[in-house]
Each structure stands twice: as structure tokens, then as C-alpha cells.
Amino acid sequence: MASATLDMVVERVRADTSVILPSEAADLRTLATPSALRPAVASLREARVDVIAYASTTSGYAIGQAGELNLVKRLRHLAGVPVVTSGLAATQALKTFGVRRVTLVHPPWFDAAMGDLGARYFRDHDVVTLTATPLPKHPDQVRPEQVIDYVSDHVDASTEAVFIAGNGFRAAGAIEELERRTGHLVLEANQVLLWSILAATGTNIQVDGYGRLFCVAPL
């Protein structure tokens, strides 16, 4: 493949000052609205970016399939460029590989309610969720090797793929070894987001060491 580079501009969504850590679904829904995202979108538009990536798996879970599709449509109208999200990128990747049964692996800070929202999110995309299990360790103690061992031991035998959610969860380093051990397609929130960015911008860049996903283009 031809070589290419990507420049990244980061904008944080400003939370309500009363929300210390927007982890509850209700808090996440307040942030996943065009009005809440408008300042960040305006700044990115001024920076003349080619695509906007909304890096929040939990926000997609909280607002659901229809809400996320509508949000992407409205943000694209505001920004004038493509908008991608981790959840929609993951479901597109599953569709590309013909996957209908997925095991969800969530970071330690995802509670049971968020796990249920994740399972519903994928069901709404016609994907059967076999399990939605958070890793049992403190976030600061979870490293790729621990993710590899845990997921290898907990993957449902009938699964066709694994999705490791959470954009703040640094699990990308576990992808390739997990695919080798389990024999399944392994997707991760930031990995699928990059894949979707490359597709949206038509960027032809070789990405090695992060799973078989980068060997194919989205359908």
C-alpha cells in the first residue's frame, strides 16, 4: 500500500460542571447531543479536518442505534465532513465479515446496566450478543497481557467475533494475540474507529499488528 500519514486534532466535549464523571447513561445522553457537541464541532471545522471521530462507545450505547444514527447525520450537517463513531464502526466491521454472533468485553468501569445497554445496542443492529462481561480488575491494573488471558478464558465457544469496548481502555495491543489464540475476529473500540476513519477519508495506509480488520475495506 502507498504510505500516508494522519494528523489528529483532539477536542473534548465539555460536560456539565455538576457531572464529575459522565459514566451513567443519563449523563452520557446529555453529552451526546448536537447542542452539547456544537462547540467541539465548530472548533474542528475551523481546523479544516477531513473527518470527525466521536470516540465514546458508551455514548452510543446510551442513546441507542437510532439515536446514534440521527446524531451522526446532524453532526455531519453541522461539520460538513463525514462523522464516524466507535459503535457504528464496530457494527460495520461485523457486517463486513458476516458476523452475527459476538462476545462483548467491557472495561472494569462498565457496570451491569451499561453492559445491558451494550447488548441491546448490538441486538438493534441484528447482531446476537452472547455475553457482555466487564474485566474484573481495576482500570490501572489492566494491561494487554491480562486482557489476552481473561478474554481467551471467557470467550463463548459459539461466538464468531469479540468486541472490546471502551475508547479509554488501552486494549489495542491485545488484538493480534487474541486472534491467534481464539481463532476469531477481534475488534476493539479505537481500532474500529481508525478503520472507519481511513475508509471515510479514502486513505490508503498499511496498518500492521492490529488484527485482520485492516486487511479489508468496509462494505
Q: What is the pLDDT of residues 91-108, one digit of tens each?
A: 999 999 999 999 999 988
pLDDT digits 0-9 by tens, 130-183: 887 878 766 566 788 889 998 999 898 899 999 999 998 889 999 999 999 999
Domain that holds residue 82: 25-88+192-212
DSSP, collapsed to helix, strand or coil, labels residue 4 as coil
- Rounded to an integer, the average pLDDT of 23-34 is 77
Together in a domain, 96 and 160: yes
Q: Are residues 65 and 149 in the same domain?
A: no
Q: Do residue 167 and residue 200 come from a single domain?
A: no
Q: Say if residue 186 is in the same domain as residue 203.
A: no
Are 57 and 130 in the same domain? no
> Is residue 17 domain-resident?
no
Q: Are 104 and 179 part of one and the same domain?
A: yes
Q: What pLDDT is recorded for position 1?
A: 35
Give CA–CA dist 103/11, Å, rounded.
31
Q: What is the pLDDT of residue 23?
A: 56
| Residue 143 domain flag | yes
Do 203 and 167 share a structural domain?
no
Is 55 found in the same domain as 123?
Answer: no
Q: Is residue 76 part of a domain?
A: yes
31 shares its domain with 123: no
CATH number of the domain enclosing 139: 3.40.50.1860
pLDDT in tens, 59-74: 999 999 999 999 999 9
Q: How much is the average pLDDT of 35-57?
A: 91
| pLDDT surpasses 90 at 116 | yes
Cα–Cα distances in angstroms (integers) from residue 161 to residues 48, 49, 101, in the given order: 36, 32, 7
Q: Are residues 100 and 171 in the same domain?
A: yes
Q: What are phi and psi of 189, to 5 degrees?
A: -55, -45
Residues 46 and 134 in one domain: no
In a domain? residue 95 = yes
97 with 183, same domain? yes
pLDDT at 171: 92
Express each pLDDT in 78-90 by its tens digit.
999 999 999 999 9
Only one residue has cell 458476523, namely: 99
User: Using CA atoms, how far apart are residues 216 and 219, in angstroms rounded to an integer?
Assistant: 9
> What is the pTM for the complete model shown?
0.88
pLDDT tens-digit profile of 190-210?
999 999 999 999 998 889 999
Residues 6+ apart with CB under 8 A from 107: 134, 135, 139, 142, 165, 166, 168, 169, 171
Number of domains comprising the chain: 2
